[in-house]
């Protein structure tokens, strides 16, 4: 990412999480894509990307915009992260099992 002065800015997973929490999902997703271009993204880069995808799936499903859901779902399915992160693992499993078409009623 290049700043206004032409200096390259380093994007971190913290930046992605912050942008997502501010509600700028599309920008957070683009930032997370940049993180994932790293040949060896770290655990937090992967988590930031996963949470962006989850938020985008929720947003697009709730707003009746299903066109990107297959791509988002595939990206989420392809991610590998520590299964000890139970919250993220449950969310990923829920989406892999068709959450977008069948709302989870367990929570």
Count of other CB atoms within 10 angstroms of residue 52: 27
Give pLDDT, residue 8.
Answer: 58
Over residues 70-87, the mean pLDDT reads 90
Distances (CA, A) of 29 to 17, 53, 84: 10, 7, 24
Residue-wise pLDDT for 15-37, tens only, equals: 999 999 999 999 999 999 999 99
- Residue 32 CA to residue 103 CA, distance in Å, equals 26
| Residue 43, helix vs strand vs coil | helix
- Residue 45 CA to residue 16 CA, distance in Å, equals 9
When pLDDT is cut at 50, 70 and 90, the band that residue 104 belongs to is: very low
Percent of the chain with pLDDT over 90: 61
- The residues, any chain, with a CB within 8 Å of residue 92's CB and separated by 6 or more, are 50, 54, 76, 77, 79
| Residue 103, helix vs strand vs coil | coil
Over residues 93-98, the mean pLDDT reads 76
Residue 101, both tokens = 């078409």
Q: Work out the widest C-alpha separation in the chain, in whole angstroms.
A: 50
Instruction: State the chain's mean pLDDT as an integer.
Output: 84
Q: What is the DSSP string of 19-30?
A: HHHTT-HHHHHH
């Amino acid at each position: 990412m290049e700043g206004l002065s032409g200096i390259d800015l380093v994007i971190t997973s913290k930046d992605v999480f912050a942008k997502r929490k501010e509600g700028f999902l599309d920008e957070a997703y683009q930032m997370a894509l940049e993180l994932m271009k790293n040949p060896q993204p770290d655990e937090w880069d992967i988590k930031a990307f996963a949470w962006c995808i989850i938020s985008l799936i929720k947003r697009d499903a709730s707003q009746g915009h299903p066109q990107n859901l297959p791509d988002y779902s595939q990206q989420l399915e392809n991610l590998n992260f520590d299964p000890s992160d139970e919250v993220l693992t449950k969310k990923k499993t829920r989406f892999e099992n068709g959450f977008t078409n069948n709302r989870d009623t367990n929570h």
